[in-house]
Structure 1
Amino acid sequence: MKEQIESISHLEVNKVAIHGKKLKIKNTNTEIILSKNQKKLLLCLMKKINEKRVIIEIIWGEGGCNTNEMNYHQLIYKTRKKLVNKGIPEDFIMTIPRYGLCLNMGFVHQNTNEQAWLNKSNFSDSEVTE
C-alpha cells in the first residue's frame, strides 16, 4: 500500500486535487505547496485510508512507535496550519477519536456555488451571518 501512495503524482476527488506537490482546490485560486509527508497524508485521506496506524506505516514505515506517533501529530498540526493560512477551514482534516483521520466530506463535495468557507474571508465580521 505504501508503494501505491508514493507512486501517485495526480489524484482528484471532487473539488480537491493533488498535482505533484501541489494541493489545488478547484474553482478557486487556492494552491498549496505540500511537503512530501503532507502529500502522502492527504493522498491517504483522499483514498479513504483513515486508520492512524496505517497512515503512520505508509508515511514512516514500521519503526519506533513513540517517534512515529509524535511525527504523526506534528504532521497533522503543520498541515492544518498551512491549510488554514490559505483560507481552508481547520476541520478540512477531521480527527476520528481513537481511530484516525478523514477529510471533511462536506467540504470535498461542496457545490462550487456554495463556497461560504472561502467567501467569509472577503467580508467584514459585521457582514457575515451564520
Structure 2
Amino acid sequence: MEFKETTFLAQNTPEQLHALRHLVFHDILTLDSAQNTLTWWPEHKVISLNEAQKRFFSCLLLRITSKRQIIATVWNESYPSISDNNYHQLLFQSRALLKRAGLPDGLLVTLPYHGVRLNEEKLMAITR
C-alpha cells in the first residue's frame, strides 16, 4: 500500500486517521478524505461517501479490521454509546454502495467474531 500526503504512524489515533488526505491501494482504490470520495481506478469510477463511510474505508485501507477499532474510529467521541447494530448497518450500506457503483462482489470480507477487511487478494487479481 502506498500513502500520499501523509505519514504513516505505528499507533494511529482516530484524529490522525481523519487527517490523512489520500490513501491509495495499489492504484486500484484511492480514498480522498478531503473530497469524501473513493475512486475505483480500473473503470475510473468516483464514488461519493458520507463521513461515516469515509472513515470506514480509511480503516479498511489502513488494514484496521477490528470491529471495536472501526467503531471507535468511525464514531469517534460517541463510540461508547454505539451499538453493534450501527456497525452492521454501516457495513451493509457500504456493501450496497459498492454494488450500486458496479464494483465486483466480495470486496468486503467479514471476519467472524472479529470485524471486516478488504479482500486484497480479489483486488490484486483484478489488476492481473
TM-score, normalised by the number of residues in structure 1: 0.78
Question: RMSD between aligned alpha carbons?
Answer: 1.4
The percent identity for this pair of structures is 29
The 4+ residue runs of structure 1 with deviation greater than 4 A are: none
- Uncovered stretches (5+) of structure 1, i.e. residues with no partner: 115-130
Cα deviation for residue 111 of structure 1 reads: 4.7
Q: 1:1-130 alignment to 2 at 5 Å?
A: 1-14=13-26, 15-19=28-32, 20-61=35-76, 62-64=79-81, 67-112=82-127, 114=128
- Uncovered stretches (5+) of structure 2, i.e. residues with no partner: 1-12
CA–CA separation in structure 1 for the residues paired with 2:41 and 2:71: 28
Cα deviation for residue 9 of structure 1 reads: 2.0
Structure 1 residues 38-75: Cα deviation after superposition (integer angstroms, max 9, x where no partner) = 011111011010000111111113322xx431111110
Q: How many residues align?
A: 111
Query: Which of these two proteins has the greater Rg computed from alpha carbons?
Result: 1
- Give yes or no for contact 1:10–1:18 (8 Å, CA) kept in 2: yes
